[in-house]
Structure 1
Amino acid sequence: MTIPSASAGSASRPDLCVELALLLALATLWGASYSFIRIGVETIPPLTFIAGRTLIAGTVLLAVIHWRGLSLPRERAVWSRFLVQACLNSVLPFTLIAWAERTVEAGTAAILNATTPIFAFLITLLLTRHEALCLRKTVGVLVGLGGTILVIGVGAVDGIGRDLLAQGAIVFATLCYAGAAIFGRVFKGLDPIMPAAGSLMCGAVLLLPVSLAVDRPWTLMPSWESLLALVSLSVFSTALAFVLYFRLVHTLGAVPTTGQAYLRVPIGVGVGALMLGETLEPTILAGCALVVFGVAAMTIPARRRS
């Protein structure tokens, strides 16, 4: 799990191809997480499932750090940032989405959750201005969202507005994801595995006491399928995915990295079709094309004129 670092804004064309491949890998890992979560929460309560996810993933990364002969930073300021990142990237959004999806349909939740690039774009444009934004990126954000709606199904839009409290919780979770991508820039200079491990361990410390008090995990009887889904989600879609995520925040930037929110929707639909036997609608191919176009517009830099 050694991911070499790269500096943003200085990548050559071959380096850019590597970063785009990693972005696709990240979208695949997080796209598959929908199926893992669906299988896992069948016999494991969402709060305990999320707490186990952060604990297992953080432990895996700590083992990798030890195997590489490294050690986590000890500065209090760095751990304070890890804690903020944990709240923005796992504790708050994971919990809010798990609570909201008790009443919100999956398609509606996926559309709302796919608005992360829009929030990242707006925060960058109006507040931080840490990245150069242009018309091409704006078009990419909007086209990607349109493709996402086509992939999930236009009918899913009909569900928006029916349960405002739960849907508002998903929107706030999405806003947290956008803030996490932008805040993640403060870890520039650290090996990507450090903020990944540190933030996950902080998340586990916050979530485990609540899980013990609310769900009493020792009384549960989870199925082997749910346990396997939990392990797969933790190792691949969390531990490895977080390392890729923190690298891409620095190499591609916050807004392009959040573009994987669009990519993971068609990937998640495809994985669901393979693993869960879900059907694919005819509009999915058109939606996938729009998603790819939108993400390309957000991530591939324009050629400089000599």
Structure 2
Amino acid sequence: MQNRSFEYALLGCLALLWGSSYMWISLALETIPPATLIAVRVSFAALVLVAIMAVRGIRMPLDGPSWRLFFIQSLVNSTGPWLLLAWGQQYAGTAVSSVLNSTSPLWVFVFSFLILQSGQRPGPRQLIGVLAGFGGIVLIVGVGALKDIGETLVPQLAVLASAALYGIAALRGRLFSGLPPIVPAAGTLLCSAIVLVPVSLVADRPWQLSPDLTGLGAAVILGIACTALAFLIYFRLLTTLGPMGTASQAYLRSGIGVFLGVVFLSETLDLETFAGICLAIFGVVLINWPKVRKPQIAAATGKEVS
């Protein structure tokens, strides 16, 4: 149980890192365009992880199949969803985007029935947890946000697609279970950088930019904490808590965002938002509640078999 508690603490830490990233992104975007910010974020994070690997004497695999896996993972775990979300949120609105982007646990549940074998699929308790968590997100963002769904259809579909890619990424994480978490984290981010740096060079001409110290500081924090450290935790949790448990951090992010707003921005916490946070936490608890193993009874001896 102690080890399990540590994994839950890491899940909360991951939600905190990714939940706070919205604040750092908003600060950085004042002087750094989106494509360049994402490119700097993944490149800096990849360099940090590669440096840590060098110090610890961990080597990246050099075979083609491993790098194909890293590249595909980068498309569904970072490059694809981040670009889709950055574009879609501009037109879909923050509230609707928050609701749609939090559906990754729902996608994990759906894709599990298409990909996993019957014994590995989530059960009814996890379905209730997924639905409860999503209901909590709706309350946190505000039920009124749902009325805007469908008005800007294509951008909203882009945001929804980013959540679906996160769901696919969580399930694909099983492919890296035999590697130290830092290896797929570094490989994924290196592949993202290979794609995003040229996009930044063409789209933004970053050599002509003049970012301020606040923007640069926010970009550094995004790279070290919200990307490098977060990806380390993410790939560890995929092994320990599984895809569904790891994806459940999406339900905690909005609550953390509200908490940061109350603490640092003097925002108020109304009853609807508080109820939403409680419901989201309840959903996460249900999703991650350990399965109870029924003891097998040996017919011949009458003794329990573990």
TM-score after normalising by structure 2:
0.93
Residue aligning to 1:15:
3
CA distance in 1, matches of 2:42, 2:227: 8
- Uncovered stretches (5+) of structure 2, i.e. residues with no partner: 296-306
The question of 1:126 aligning with 2:114 is answered yes
- Uncovered stretches (5+) of structure 1, i.e. residues with no partner: 1-12
CA drift at 1:66 = 0.8
CA distance in 2, matches of 1:49, 1:280: 31
CA distance in 2, matches of 1:45, 1:276: 25
* Identical pairs, percent: 43
Residue aligning to 1:79:
67
CA distance in 2, matches of 1:120, 1:167: 19
Residue aligning to 1:7:
none
CA distance in 1, matches of 2:100, 2:78: 17
Deviations 1:168-210 (A, max 9, x none): 0001111111000111110011000000011001000101011
CA drift at 1:126 = 3.0
Residue aligning to 2:258:
269
Q: 1:235 aligns with which of 224, 229, 235?
A: 224
The question of 1:173 aligning with 2:156 is answered no
The question of 1:158 aligning with 2:147 is answered yes
Residue aligning to 1:65:
53
CA distance in 2, matches of 1:297, 1:177: 20
CA distance in 2, matches of 1:238, 1:50: 10
Moved more, 85-94 or 147-156: 147-156
The question of 1:104 aligning with 2:104 is answered no
The question of 1:244 aligning with 2:233 is answered yes
CA drift at 1:283 = 1.4
CA distance in 2, matches of 1:55, 1:264: 24
CA distance in 1, matches of 2:113, 2:270: 36
CA drift at 1:84 = 0.4
Residue aligning to 1:90:
78
The question of 1:298 aligning with 2:298 is answered no
Count matched residues: 294
SS in 1 for 2:91: coil
Moved more, 107-116 or 263-272: 263-272
The question of 1:116 aligning with 2:110 is answered no
CA drift at 1:120 = 0.4
**Shift in alpha-carbon separation, 1:273–1:49, aligned structure 2, 3 A:** farther
Q: 1:34 aligns with which of 14, 17, 22?
A: 22
CA distance in 1, matches of 2:137, 2:241: 21
SS in 1 for 2:92: coil
CA distance in 1, matches of 2:181, 2:110: 25
CA distance in 1, matches of 2:157, 2:65: 32
The structure whose Rg is larger is 2
Code of the residue aligned with 1:64 in structure 2: it is I
CA distance in 2, matches of 1:87, 1:277: 38
CA distance in 2, matches of 1:58, 1:296: 32
Q: 1:185 aligns with which of 174, 177, 190?
A: 174
Give yes or no for contact 1:35–1:272 (8 Å, CA) kept in 2.
Answer: no
Greater relative CO, 1 or 2 (CA 8 Å, sep 6+):
1
TM-score after normalising by structure 1:
0.93
Code of the residue aligned with 1:50 in structure 2: it is I
CA distance in 2, matches of 1:253, 1:162: 35
The question of 1:141 aligning with 2:136 is answered no
**Shift in alpha-carbon separation, 1:51–1:72, aligned structure 2, 3 A:** same
CA distance in 1, matches of 2:98, 2:209: 29
Moved more, 63-72 or 268-277: 268-277
CA RMSD of aligned residues (A): 1.3
CA drift at 1:16 = 1.0
Q: 2:187 aligns with which of 198, 202, 208?
A: 198
CA distance in 2, matches of 1:101, 1:133: 30
CA distance in 2, matches of 1:80, 1:275: 43
